[in-house]
Amino acid sequence: MEIKVLGTGCANCKTLEKTVYNALAEMNLDANVEKVEDITKIIAYGVMRTPALVINEKVIFSGRVPSVKELRDIIANNQ
């Protein structure tokens, strides 16, 4: 599974990245997690608000940080 956290480095972007790692650890899942900070690459995904989450090249959400529980559900539904 490929997970990308899109964000330029703001506090919410860092929080989402930590939340992704926490959710994966709780689920005992292994995934390639990449932090994308290049604004050109972020815009290429059609994202206008960060942070955003991309799983297997599909934008799942943008502009918010979900709870660990919600993120576990999102990851489980998009494996």
Instruction: Give the mean pLDDT of 31-41.
Output: 96
32-36 β-sheet, strand order: 32-36, 2-6, 52-55, 58-62
pLDDT at 77: 95
Q: What is the pLDDT of residues 43-62, one digit of tens each?
A: 999 999 999 999 999 999 99
CATH no. of 2-77: 3.40.30.10
Of 3, 1, 6, 2, the residue nearest 36 (C-alpha): 6
> What residues does each domain of the chain span?
2-77
Can you read off the two tokens belonging to residue 47?
Answer: 């994202």
Q: What is the pTM of this model?
A: 0.94
pLDDT at 79: 87
